[in-house]
Amino acid sequence: IGGTDAPAGKYGRLLANGPHFEFEKKPGVKQRFYGVNFCSTANFPSAQQADQLADRFVRLGYNSVRIHHYDNGCVEGSTDGLTLNPEKMAKLDGFLAACFKRGLYATTDLYVSRKVMWRHIGIDLDGQVEMQVFKALIAVHEPAYQNWATFAKSLLTHVNPHTGRRYADEPGMPFIALINEGSIGYAKQEARE
């Protein structure tokens, strides 16, 4: 259980079978994932750093990586907070491709901490929506949901030039959460404090 078998995705999609995971082309063989968490600017290494990191992860016994707090970097410099930054995406593409090549699987969330302005979601207020409040608004405020969906679609339909696949079709990225820690209760608690 665990370990790498490069490249990631070579056994097809990851499936849930009762209480465990297995690959569609390796039925009955339980899969377990051990990973490392990468945050913020660490998700955008140079090509050389990406190769070094992926090699190191394999040597350490990992078979997965979590791409976390990456979403601000993906849209860095955009005025709408939604347009993907080509330079940042090129680095993220390279990092993920280096991981997939070595048999490392990836996971991420479609919203973690991307900065959203109140006016981007149709509310006439200055400043930025607090992260936990935005997470709650996605569930109950249509413009917030549309903002989330627009970014999610841009990311998932983005084609990684190293793999030739859209993120949505990447078998090396089988774990995608819709919203990181997306509990409406968080926003309620913060509103009381």
Residue ranges, the chain, pLDDT below 70:
1-2, 186-193
Q: What is the pLDDT of residues 83-134, one digit of tens each?
A: 999 999 999 999 999 999 999 999 999 999 999 999 999 999 999 999 999 9
Spell out a b/e string for 13-25, using b for 16 or more CB atoms within 10 Å of the CB, else e. Answer: ebeeeeeebbbee
* pTM for the full predicted model: 0.91
**CA gap 62, 156 in Å, rounded:** 25
The residues pairing with 163 across neighbouring beta strands, listed in sequence order, are none
Cβ 108 vs Cβ 70: under 8 Å: yes
Q: Return the axis-axis angle of helices 47-59 and 86-101, rounded to nearest 10°.
A: 30
81 close to 115: Cβ distance less than 8 angstroms:
yes
The Cα–Cα gap between 94 and 3 comes to 22
Give 110-119 pLDDT, tens digit per residue: 999 999 999 9
Q: How wide is the angle at C-alpha 134 spanned by C-alphas 152 and 156, nearest 5°? A: 5
The one-letter code for the residue type at 75 is: V
Contact (CB, 8 A) for 143 and 154: no
Check residue 193 and give its pLDDT: 47
Among 193, 106, 116, 187, which Cα is nearest to 151's? 116
Least Cα distance to 132 among 119, 144, 149 occurs for: 144
